[in-house]
Amino acid sequence: MGIQLTDYEQDMLSGKNGPGVQLAMTIVVRMAEVLQAPELLAVSQAHIDGCGLMSDSGLEFAEKMAGLGARVSVPTTLNMIPLDLQNWRKQGVPEEFGLKATRMAQAYIDMGCIPTWTCAPYQGYLAPAYGQQIAWGESNAIVYANSVFGARTNRYADYMDICAAITGRVPKHGLHLKENRKGQVLIRLVDIDPVLFTEDTFYPVFGYLLGQLVQDKIPVVVGLEAQINSDQFKAMGAAAASSGAVALIHIVGLTPEAPTQEEAFQGAEPEEIIELHMIDLLAAREELSIAPTHGGKLDAVVLGCPHFSYMEFQTLLKHIRQANKPLPEGVRLIILTNQLSMALLERGGMLDEITGFGAELIIDSCVFHSPIVGSGAKVIMTNSGKCAYYAPGELNTQVVFGDMEDCIRSAMLGEITRKEDAWKSA
Ligand code: F3S
């Protein structure tokens, strides 16, 4: 099937706008052919995940595009990169890798992208509007954009994301179209004490379970009657997009495309109905830990997956003040964050207290793309469902999942401890 192109799109394809744009357009059109999309669709914003150095070919591609004069045509933010740009030498990142990652970062800046370097772009810069057509990479950000803002994006892969940003075009396909955004699986939360919904720790667990159950389908959740804040939704979406390939979650009464169950399904019947009880959530929570949840030695705590927000730093400060003394030697507290949170932290007067406690703040980066944790760590603890899901395979560590308070108390003790009250009372 031929793709219907406008004159402007045809010009891009024929090279009238330069060889960089032509190459990007060739890739977008080829993708549209593969997807059997009838035409292309204009997007007005992009978020690039492909800026992390995954391979030499990724660097070659970025430098080639930048060298051909390709520039983004829509506002485009950048995901994390595999090093803390300010501190990578101090952190022991190998010189050759560090230089390549820095070149990669520069190539994306040269193409006109905004150096946000964060996997939580929605918490600080250029949040998209309801119904806005966008092209985002980074799975947790995609869920957030689709579900919370009601913006429209597919799960864009590395390199397709920058081609969309350069051309301002994507195949007219998938979640860009209203009819493909209707719910598929009804998830009913049954007999769950609403107190649990007020706990941060509920959201990564529920997200992890949701992803496992629905995989790449669109869930419609009923029975989750709570005011979910931005950090809670971030944690839930990140976990759901890790254990599954979730890109959009409707929560009836809460998310913009789900004022009612009927509207979330666009009048159709659910393909499947799943009831979730407390026992299912408890089992999911246990699955997120592969080391004993009480008593074992702890090497490091990892927070900020996705990147830590200012509000999360405020919560952390409460726990630090409760601890009332610095972190003991032998346990690391690693916090992944971005420049925006750092600037606010400094401005809010909290930075010295947090670093004085002994926290290591890693800016712009991620433990899964940079040798931050190191081979010395055998057991880590995290409050992130996404981090707990990936750590055993990617970091080769044992992992325990707990809430932020559990993480700090365990770090102070040097051994794992976890309170169970929020889950027991529910
Ligand atoms: Fe962000 Fe890395 Fe977690 S990119 S979401 S900190 S896995």
From ligand 1's centre to the CA of 139, what distance in Å? 9
pLDDT attached to residue 372:
87
Give the CA angle between residues 74, 77, 79 to the nearest 5°: 145
Residue nearest to atom 6 of ligand 1 (CA): 305
- Cα dihedral value 110, 170, 241, 308, nearest 10: 30
Q: What is the identity of the amino acid at 228? A: I
Mutate to test the pocket of ligand 1, among 48, 118, 305, 341 (most ligand atoms within 8 A of CB): 305
Nearest atom in ligand 1 to the alpha carbon of residue 238 is: 5
Rg (CA), the chain: 22
Average pLDDT along the chain: 96
Sorted by sequence, the CB contacts under 8 Å of residue 16 that are 6+ apart come out as none
Nearest to 281 by CA among 228, 223, 234: 223
Q: Which secondary-structure segment (H or E) carries 69?
A: none
pLDDT attached to residue 425:
56
From ligand 1's centre to the CA of 362, what distance in Å? 12
Cβ atoms 72, 113 nearer than 8 A: yes
pLDDT attached to residue 55:
87
Phi, psi of 325 (to 5 degrees): -160, 160
pLDDT attached to residue 41:
98
Whether the CA torsion 311, 124, 336, 232 is positive or negative: it is positive
pLDDT attached to residue 182:
98
pLDDT digits (tens, 9 = 90+) for 275-323: 999 999 999 999 999 999 999 999 999 999 999 999 999 999 999 999 9
d(CA 215, CA 246): 6
Share of the chain above pLDDT 70, in %: 99
Q: Residues 76-92: what's their mean pLDDT?
A: 89
Nearest atom in ligand 1 to the alpha carbon of residue 79 is: 4
d(CA 377, CA 358): 17
Residue listed under structure tokens 């004159």: 7
d(CA 185, CA 218): 6
pLDDT digits (tens, 9 = 90+) for 355-377: 999 999 999 999 998 888 988 89
Bridge partners (DSSP) listed for residue 278: none
pLDDT attached to residue 424:
74
Q: Which secondary-structure segment (H or E) carries 294?
A: none
pLDDT digits (tens, 9 = 90+) for 239-275: 999 999 999 999 999 999 999 999 999 999 999 999 9
d(CA 202, CA 94): 38
From ligand 1's centre to the CA of 385, what distance in Å? 11
From ligand 1's centre to the CA of 366, what distance in Å? 5
- Asked if residue 306 has a cis previous peptide bond (ω within 30° of 0), the answer is yes
From ligand 1's centre to the CA of 323, what distance in Å? 27
Helices (H), 39-135: 56-67, 95-110
Q: Residues 93-117: what's their mean pLDDT?
A: 95
Sorted by sequence, the CB contacts under 8 Å of residue 2 that are 6+ apart come out as none
d(CA 426, CA 423): 5
From ligand 1's centre to the CA of 259, what distance in Å? 30
Cβ atoms 151, 130 nearer than 8 A: yes
Helices (H), 215-332: 230-243, 261-264, 278-287, 310-323
pLDDT digits (tens, 9 = 90+) for 38-55: 999 999 999 999 998 888
The tally of CA atoms less than 13 A away on the side-chain side of residue 237 is 29
Strand, coil or helix: 383: coil
Ligand 1 pocket list (CB less than 6 A): 80, 119, 140, 238, 305-307, 336, 366, 368, 386
Span between the terminal Cα atoms of the chain, in Å = 55
- Burial label for 136, CB within 10 Å (0-12, 13-18, 19+), is buried
Domains and CATH numbers, the chain: 7-175 (3.30.499.10), 182-287 (no CATH), 300-425 (3.30.499.10)
Choice between 91 and 58, residue whose per-residue pLDDT is larger: 58
Residue listed under structure tokens 């003991």: 328
pLDDT attached to residue 183:
98
Cβ atoms 44, 73 nearer than 8 A: no
pLDDT attached to residue 421:
77
Q: 333: pLDDT confidence band, cut at 50, 70 and 90?
A: very high
